[in-house]
């Protein structure tokens, strides 16, 4: 569905109505992406609240290809069906005179044959046509003929938040802030005009071509009355109904605020707060305000949801108080979201103060430059001397993967001196070639082997070999075998941020250590609650420092790592429920050798042989790692962030669900493609 096309009380739930949901972009560089897990009826939105309208009446299935306004003579060409319900259908229509496109709500005359039915449509039209706000669906005009009533509305080409939620299942906190700010802006406008929406839900928040939100569907909207005269009708969508509405105490602005809290919870947690398999149980949970707050939500998000979902309406925050909450004031809100965020996690820049600080740090750390250049820190010999305390300071060397013009680098005395053009070393030239190869994605690592002999190609080849063997021997099965109840602990990536346009790729491991693979190939890890630092040069020479004894030359780099760490902590949710204890500070964490982004997934290869693949659209993850006895374990993290670990040999013998098998095949094809191009 595209715009506010039909009255919420007269339609099926948004998910039941709309099968035309966003699909991931086609992968032109590899195999098709795995489909998202099936959306079972048990997880669908419960049936809509019963209304007075007769749902047994059938909508006429056909609409003429061209519709003409009998009064003005203007004709409109019917386009695709945008959405449908038990009461109306919504079509894309084009004005044949101006070529302007609309979302048109079409209501059969048979549905308004009774006076009270006609009054409801008239009230909806009269109310909507008075509204004019940036974040409210624009009303254009309406007319009727013998067959239908036609309501012409602003076309929102990216459909609704329900479609985005269906494709993504959960959104990041910056995205939630982005949408909530716009919803609140439109809602404040309505409330200031004495209008209650009474059906705030994901399907009624429409997204236009520019990723701007519009609040729509005013079929249940009503004027705000005094407490004595407030409407006592139970109407709206079951999951989002406020306790006072269920208790027939009437609707006030606080009821819309309650629904807003449910919307926030749904976007961040993946399901409505009071959703159950039974409608009566859902109502009971709402009346008792009984719901769970996932621990992976940030403290600020938990506090805000708790402050909104209060049983007593007067105890809830109002709209201004919500915007003044620390969830908004201390969190990053993007100015705009990319269209790709409709189907995958967007790459968002940090807030402007941090961005300015990043730039400042980069200038001080990388030095001034006339040509685009990247930095390689102190070479191995110099850093070895630093560790032994022999050298007081050293020179950070600037280098580009291209031949650079003469530029300035800091001298040991801190003064700027002119340097001659620097030619890339063989290892750097090889790294440059890796970046330019045809395999789609970013390859930010040296092709030299690590101290343990691991290379990205070797890890990819090994993983592809064992997975391929498993799939080849795997019998047909409809479900996964029993998972390990207490799997052996291993490290995996719970959060990540791509800032490779300037610095590199940052990630958080399940023991809360932070790693950043910088663009030029150096690797920096913060471990042991940020007390210990592990540093790896491009030639894979490792160094360890206590944070208090970090060489001066690496302190600016540490600040960049900390900024990435803080961003992930404040803005990103944990990727699953699988955790592990902090490792000993003396043990270096696994090093990220290479990360690759395809259109559908993020692939990460580590020097301990671990492979992790994160799928964008449904947030499922596949992790292949080695156990202490040398055998392989495969962990699958579902869209609900629940983890299941199996010995790979068990999957080979017992088989697995089609859902997991499809993902494993996709991973194998990715790895084989990687190996072919490497």
- The catalytic residues are 199
What torsion, rounded to 10 degrees, do the Cα atoms 185, 190, 192, 198 define? -110
Sign of torsion, CA 125 126 128 132?
positive
Burial class (CB in 10 A: 0-12, 13-18, 19+), 205: buried
Task: For residue 284, say whether it is annotated as part of any ligand binding site.
Answer: no
Sign of torsion, CA 319 325 327 333?
positive
* Number of continuous H segments (helices) and E segments (strands) in the chain: 17, 26
What torsion, rounded to 10 degrees, do the Cα atoms 219, 223, 224, 227 define? -100
Bridge partner residues of 536 (DSSP): 523, 542
Instruction: Give 268's contacts (C-beta < 8 A, 6+ positions apart).
Output: 170, 171, 173, 176, 297, 301, 573
Residues composing the chain: 678
Three-state SS at 596: strand
Instruction: Give 38's contacts (C-beta < 8 A, 6+ positions apart).
Output: 659
The neighbour count for residue 449, using CB atoms within 10 Å, is 15
User: Which of 234, 237, 238, 235 is CA-nearest to residue 279?
Assistant: 238
b/e burial code for range 569-600 (CB count within 10 A of at least 16 → b): ebbbbbbbebeeeebebeebbbbbbbbbbbbb
CA-atom Rg of the chain in angstroms: 29
From CA 468, how far away is CA 504, in angstroms rounded?
Answer: 31
Q: Tell me, what DSSP letter sits at residue 261?
A: H
Q: Which residues are annotated as a binding site?
A: 105
Q: Which residues are annotated as a binding site for ATP?
A: 105
């Amino acid at each position: 569905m595209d715009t506010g096309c039909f009255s919420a009380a007269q339609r099926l739930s948004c998910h039941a109505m709309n099968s035309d949901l966003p699909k991931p972009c086609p992968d032109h560089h590899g195999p098709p992406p795995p489909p998202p897990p099936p959306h079972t009826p048990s997880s669908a939105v419960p049936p809509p609240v019963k209304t007075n309208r007769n749902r047994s009446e059938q909508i006429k299935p056909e609409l003429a290809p061209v519709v003409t306004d009998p009064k003005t003579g203007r004709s409109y060409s019917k386009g695709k069906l945008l959405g449908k319900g038990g009461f109306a259908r919504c079509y894309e229509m084009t004005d044949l005179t101006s070529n302007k496109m609309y979302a048109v709500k079409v209501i059969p005359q048979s549905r308004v044959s009774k006076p009270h039915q006609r009054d409801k449509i008239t009230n909806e039209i009269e109310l909507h046509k008075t509204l004019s706000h940036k974040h409210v669906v624009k009303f254009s005009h309406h007319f009727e003929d013998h067959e239908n009533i036609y309501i012409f509305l602003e076309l929102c080409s990216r459909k609704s938040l329900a479609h985005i939620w269906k494709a993504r299942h959960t959104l990041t906190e910056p995205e939630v802030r982005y949408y909530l700010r716009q919803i609140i802006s439109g809602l404040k406008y309505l409330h200031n005009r004495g209008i209650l929406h009474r059906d705030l839900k994901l399907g009624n928040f429409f997204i236009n071509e520019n990723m701007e939100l519009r609040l729509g569907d005013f079929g249940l909207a009503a004027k705000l009355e005094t407490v004595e005269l407030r409407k006592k009708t139970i109407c709206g969508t079951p999951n989002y109904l406020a306790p006072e509405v269920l208790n027939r105490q009437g609707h006030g602005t606080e009821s819309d605020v309650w629904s807003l809290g449910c919307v926030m919870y749904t976007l961040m947690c993946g399901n409505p707060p009071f959703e159950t398999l039974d409608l009566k149980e859902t109502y009971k949970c709402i009346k008792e305000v009984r719901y769970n707050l996932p621990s992976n939500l940030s403290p600020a998000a938990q506090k805000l949801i708790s402050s909104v979902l209060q049983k007593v309406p007067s105890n809830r925050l109002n709209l201004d108080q919500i915007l003044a909450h620390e969830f908004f004031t201390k969190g990053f809100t993007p100015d705009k979201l990319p269209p790709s965020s409709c189907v995958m996690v967007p790459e968002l820049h940090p807030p402007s103060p941090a961005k300015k600080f990043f730039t400042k740090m980069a200038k001080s750390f990388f030095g001034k430059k006339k040509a685009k250049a990247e930095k390689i820190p102190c070479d191995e010999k110099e850093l070895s001397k630093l560790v032994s305390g022999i050298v007081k300071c050293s020179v950070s060397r600037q280098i580009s993967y291209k031949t650079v013009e003469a530029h300035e680098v800091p001298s040991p005395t801190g003064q700027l001196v002119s340097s001659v053009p620097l030619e890339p070393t063989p290892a750097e030239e090889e790294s440059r070639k890796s970046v330019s190869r045809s395999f789609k994605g970013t390859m930010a690592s040296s092709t030299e082997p690590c101290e343990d002999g691991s290379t990205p190609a070797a890890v990819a080849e090994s993983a592809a070999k064992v997975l391929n063997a498993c799939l080849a021997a795997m019998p047909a099965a409809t479900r996964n075998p029993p998972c390990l109840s207490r799997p052996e602990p291993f490290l995996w990536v719970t959060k990540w941020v791509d800032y490779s346009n300037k610095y590199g790729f940052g990630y958080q491991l399940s023991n809360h250590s932070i790693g950043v693979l910088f663009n030029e190939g150096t690797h920096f890890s913060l471990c042991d609650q940020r007390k210990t630092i592990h540093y790896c040069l491009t030639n894979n020479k490792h160094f360890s420092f206590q944070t208090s004894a970090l060489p001066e030359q690496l302190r600016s780099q540490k600040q960049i790592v900390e900024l990435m760490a803080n961003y992930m902590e404040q803005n990103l949710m944990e990727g699953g429920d699988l955790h592990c204890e902090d490792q000993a500070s003396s043990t270096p964490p696994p090093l990220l050798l290479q990360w690759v982004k395809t259109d559908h997934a993020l692939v990460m290869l580590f020097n301990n042989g671990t492979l992790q693949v994160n799928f964008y659209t449904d947030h499922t993850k596949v992790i292949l790692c080695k156990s202490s006895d040398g055998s392989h374990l495969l962990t699958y993290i579902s869209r609900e962030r629940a983890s299941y670990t199996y010995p790979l040999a068990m999957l080979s013998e017992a088989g697995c669900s089609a859902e997991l098998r499809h993902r494993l095949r996709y991973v194998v094809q990715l790895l084989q493609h990687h190996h072919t191009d490497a």
